[in-house]
Amino acid sequence: MADAAPPSESLSEDGGKRRDFLVLAAGAMGGMATVAVVWPLIETMNPSADVLALASTEVDLSAIEEGQTIVVKWRGRPVFVRHRTADEIAAAQAASLDELSDPQPDSERAPQAQWLIVEGVCTHLGCVPLGSKLGDPRGEFGGWFCPCHGSHYDTSGRIRKGPAPANLPVPTYEFLDDTLVRIG
Amino acid sequence: MTTPVPQNRVAQWIEYRLPVFSWTNKHLIDYPAPRNLNYWWNFGSLAGFMLVLQIVTGVVLAMHYTPHADHAFDSVEHIMRDVEWGWLMRYLHANGASMFFAVVYIHLFRGLYYGSYKSPREILWWMGVIILLLMMASAFMGYVLPWGQMSFWAATVITNMTSAIPWIGETVVTWLWGGFSVDHPTLVRFYALHYLLPFVIFAVVFIHLWALHHRKSNNPLGIDIKSDKDTIPFHPYYTVKDMFGLGVMMFILLLFTFYMPNVLGEVINYEKANPLQTPAHIVPEWYFLPFYAILRAIPDKLGGVVAMAASILILFILPWLDTSRVRSARFRPIYKWAFWVFVVDCIALGWVGANTPEGNFIWIGQVTTGYYFAHFLIVVPLIGKFERPTKVPESIHQAVLKGGEGAGEAAAAGAAGAAAAPASGEQS
């Protein structure tokens, strides 16, 4: 490159501009090539096709008695299915939206009032809240209590107290018949 | 002193092509170190030794470990029961992580006390903070590998912290996991990174030492090296001193390894990971407890994560927060006290982090977290403005050889220095 040394007059005028353009163009191509290499490297870390394929789980509700909660595994994480008692439904529906930090009416979260289906993963840092088994602490609102950092959820799985920012998420599900539900 | 290059012809042939002999001499043998370094200056080389020990035991463990969600837990038991000396390698590696953090924390507090972060050592200090961050990442990912209950839930809680990032948090956490929860893909990538990061640490340690040897060590007086009389050669004085420290450290490490190898661990990690059940008490290893306390002190998800990250990142700007021109706390009557209050605050944070956040622990956690940041943002800048430092000696050799002010703390180094006086006189 250096030995090409053109006459000095043309270097300062046209030659300088031409070289600037070449540097810019080469730099831009190099930048694009870098992005093109880094992109797939990052993408490899996303969930792979076989992980994505484990999308749905079917649950038979007939064996769940009133007041009982079962825990099923969906996408590697727990889902709570609770057969709510009349009192629990009443408590969930009675809560005024003003006192909720993530306001959502119970009717939206549990279209069939006796069945509450929520993901059993605390929205704070991902622990599994207690309250599904008999004798578990259920927190101050009768739903679930997360032992890790002390979040309290109500009988609609809504956050009422503690560091968690959001309600327990409701997964997409549909009732295939009266006692069979497909989650996912 | 010693000749940098031996008269041997093979050695000269090598030296001409790759100057290993003069380099070793320059950095390890005749390297001029302040004559007054005390035992707190042992901890850098001890940390270096621990890094090497972790890499050596880790490589051996990797030969027997299976990075698979279904087999990892059993392969660790296989190492413990079936592999020859496997128990020793695993216990050395697990307790070695604790020892590594212990010496690095002492090294860090040494820097805080003697002002080692101040000009011209800011970049040296930054490299140290980067090493600390890399160590934390390595230690966390290594802890996940045995795939016990605590491994699994530590991984869940820590990775979920990234979900606190507004807008993109959920996408990022799915990307980190390679799925919808901590699972097999997460374990395998943690294994890959856990193997990689120690070598990255090694590279940053090299830059750390490059900066150190460029501007030379700070010392208990915190004043610059002004002449050859202020220094003694690294070998034999500090090689011997470091070897003695190494003996003491190994005694402690082996005491844990042989007689109480599980005392720092959680029993529940000997139970296989169960994604459907969180253990009643999730507690990190002791070296993360103060940061865990800071995380929990803020009753807001994003706020807690930000505070925890800030508690370490704040060290990067410490050189500019400290407004005092005197380095060593020995001549800073008020800062000396603030330093010890800060040490107590950090220990209190660790104590809070070890307990369930209930009752008094909530407000104690908040007060100690508040003070942690106040120390850096209020106390240190103000002390620098209003404190009147006591008289700083003219030079290291004057202070040390007279046996005056510095005699107490640097007694051992002073004695070594005095004995070395004729030798370094020859040098100059």
**Longest Cα pair distance anywhere in chain B, in angstroms?**
75
- For residue B190, which of B148, B153, B138 has the smallest C-alpha distance? B138
Residues with Cβ < 8 Å from B308, sequence gap 6 or more? B161, B291, B292, B294, B295
Cβ atoms of B288 and B312 within 8 Å: the answer is no
Residues of B with CB under 8 A from a CB of A: 153, 156-161, 163, 174-183, 185, 189, 275-278, 280-282, 296, 299-302, 304, 357-358
Tell me how close the Cα of A56 comes to any Cα of chain B, in angstroms.
13
Q: Do A126 and B275 touch (CB under 8 A)?
A: no
C-alpha B70/C-alpha B273 separation (Å) is: 10
Per-residue pLDDT at B7: 84
**Token pair for A41:** 């490297």
Q: Domain-by-domain residue ranges, chain A?
A: 1-46, 51-183
- Contact list, A48 vs chain B (CB under 8 Å): 178, 185
Per-residue pLDDT at A178: 85
Per-residue pLDDT at A17: 86
The average pLDDT across B317-340 equals 96
Q: Do A165 and B281 touch (CB under 8 A)?
A: no
Per-residue pLDDT at A119: 93
Question: At A35, is the pLDDT very low, low, confident or very high (cuts 50, 70, 90)?
Answer: very high
Q: Do B181 and A76 touch (CB under 8 A)?
A: yes
- For residue B301, which of A111, A149, A73 has the smallest C-alpha distance? A149
- Tell me: the pLDDT tens digits for A139-149? 889 899 988 88
Per-residue pLDDT at A6: 53
A and B: number of Cβ contacts within 8 A: 86
| pLDDT > 90: percent of chain B | 84
Tokens 């901590």 belong to residue? B182
- Residue with the larger pLDDT of the pair A71 and A5: A71
- Mean pLDDT (chain A, rounded): 87
Per-residue pLDDT at A77: 86
C-alpha B179/C-alpha B275 separation (Å) is: 13
DSSP A132-159: SSTT---TTTEEEEETTTTEEEETTS-E
Task: List residues bridging with A181 in a β-sheet.
Answer: A59, A175
Cβ atoms of B126 and B251 within 8 Å: the answer is no
Tell me how close the Cα of A50 comes to any Cα of chain B, in angstroms.
10
B304 to chain A: closest CA residue: A163
C-alpha A85/C-alpha A72 separation (Å) is: 20
Active site residue A83: no
Residues with Cβ < 8 Å from B413, sequence gap 6 or more? B35, B36, B37, B38, B220, B241, B400
Burial state string for B364-379 with b = 16 or more CB within 10 A and e = fewer than 16: bbbebbebbeebbeeb
Q: Which one of A82-91, B66-75, B279-288 scores highest in mean pLDDT?
A: B66-75
Report whether pLDDT(B359) > 90.
Answer: no
Report whether pLDDT(B322) > 50.
Answer: yes
| pLDDT > 90: percent of chain A | 46
**Token pair for B61:** 């463990």
Query: Which letter does DSSP use for residue B71 in this model?
Result: T
Q: Is B282 exposed, middle or buried (0-12, 13-18, 19+ CB in 10 A)?
A: buried
Report whether pLDDT(B405) > 70.
Answer: no
- Tell me: the pLDDT tens digits for A38-85? 999 999 999 998 888 777 888 999 889 888 999 998 888 899 999 999
Cβ atoms of B346 and B373 within 8 Å: the answer is no
C-alpha A144/C-alpha A159 separation (Å) is: 9
Helix/strand/coil percentages in chain B, nearest 5: 70, 0, 25
Residues of A with CB under 8 A from a CB of B: 42, 45-48, 51, 71, 73, 75-78, 120-121, 123-128, 130, 146-150, 162-165
Question: At A184, is the pLDDT very low, low, confident or very high (cuts 50, 70, 90)?
Answer: confident
- Residue with the larger pLDDT of the pair A16 and A122: A122
ipTM comes to 0.76
Task: List residues bridging with B32 in a β-sheet.
Answer: B233
Tell me how close the Cα of B178 comes to any Cα of chain A, in angstroms.
4
- Mean pLDDT (chain B, rounded): 91
A55 to chain B: closest CA residue: B180
pTM, two decimals, is 0.87
**Token pair for B228:** 């050859």
- Contact list, B178 vs chain A (CB under 8 Å): 45-48, 51
Residues with Cβ < 8 Å from B10, sequence gap 6 or more? none
Tokens 């990797």 belong to residue? B62
Q: Do B280 and A165 touch (CB under 8 A)?
A: no
Report whether pLDDT(A9) > 70.
Answer: no
- For residue B413, which of B10, B55, B41, B123 has the smallest C-alpha distance? B41
Q: Do B177 and A126 touch (CB under 8 A)?
A: no
Cβ atoms of B406 and B414 within 8 Å: the answer is yes
Tell me how close the Cα of B166 comes to any Cα of chain A, in angstroms.
12
Tokens 């809680």 belong to residue? B157
**Token pair for B118:** 């101040």
- Tell me: the pLDDT tens digits for B130-161? 999 999 999 999 999 999 999 999 999 999 98
Closest partner residue to B179 among A51, A164, A165, by Cβ? A51
Report whether pLDDT(B288) > 70.
Answer: yes
- Tell me: the pLDDT tens digits for B91-131? 999 999 999 999 999 999 999 999 999 999 999 999 999 99
**Longest Cα pair distance anywhere in chain A, in angstroms?**
94
- Tell me: the pLDDT tens digits for B5-59? 778 899 999 999 999 999 999 999 999 999 999 999 999 999 999 999 999 999 9
C-alpha A159/C-alpha B309 separation (Å) is: 26
From residue B137, alpha-carbon distances to B38, B197, B201, B255, B317 in Å are 31, 8, 11, 26, 21
| pLDDT > 70: percent of chain A | 92
For domain A51-183, give the CATH superfamily: Rieske [2Fe-2S] iron-sulphur domain (2.102.10.10)
Residues with Cβ < 8 Å from B266, sequence gap 6 or more? B150, B283
N- to C-terminal Cα separation, chain A: 62
From residue B423, alpha-carbon distances to B2, B232, B239, B396, B417 in Å are 12, 8, 16, 17, 10
Query: Best mutation site among B278, B295, B298, B352 for testing chain A: the one with the most A CBs within 10 Å?
Result: B278
- Helix (H) / strand (E) element for B138: namely helix B122-144
Query: Which letter does DSSP use for residue B229 in this model?
Result: G
Question: At B422, is the pLDDT very low, low, confident or very high (cuts 50, 70, 90)?
Answer: very low
DSSP B237-290: HHHHHHHHHHHHHHHHHHHHHHH-TTTTS-GGGGSB--TT---S-----GGGHH
- Contact list, A150 vs chain B (CB under 8 Å): 357-358
Report whether pLDDT(A104) > 50.
Answer: yes
Per-residue pLDDT at B143: 97
Report whether pLDDT(B379) > 70.
Answer: yes
Closest partner residue to B181 among A75, A125, A147, by Cβ? A75
On the question of a cis peptide bond just before residue B319, with omega within 30 degrees of 0, the verdict is no
**Token pair for B276:** 């459907």
C-alpha A4/C-alpha A9 separation (Å) is: 14
Residues with Cβ < 8 Å from A23, sequence gap 6 or more? none
Tell me how close the Cα of A135 comes to any Cα of chain B, in angstroms.
14
- For residue B290, which of B108, B96, B52 has the smallest C-alpha distance? B108
Q: Where are the beta strands (DSSP E) in B288-361?
A: none
C-alpha B298/C-alpha B283 separation (Å) is: 17
The average pLDDT across B54-76 equals 97
Per-residue pLDDT at B418: 41
C-alpha A93/C-alpha A105 separation (Å) is: 7
Report whether pLDDT(B426) > 70.
Answer: no
The average pLDDT across B351-380 equals 94
Per-residue pLDDT at B2: 56
- Tell me: the pLDDT tens digits for B254-264? 999 999 999 99
- Residue with the larger pLDDT of the pair B420 and B210: B210
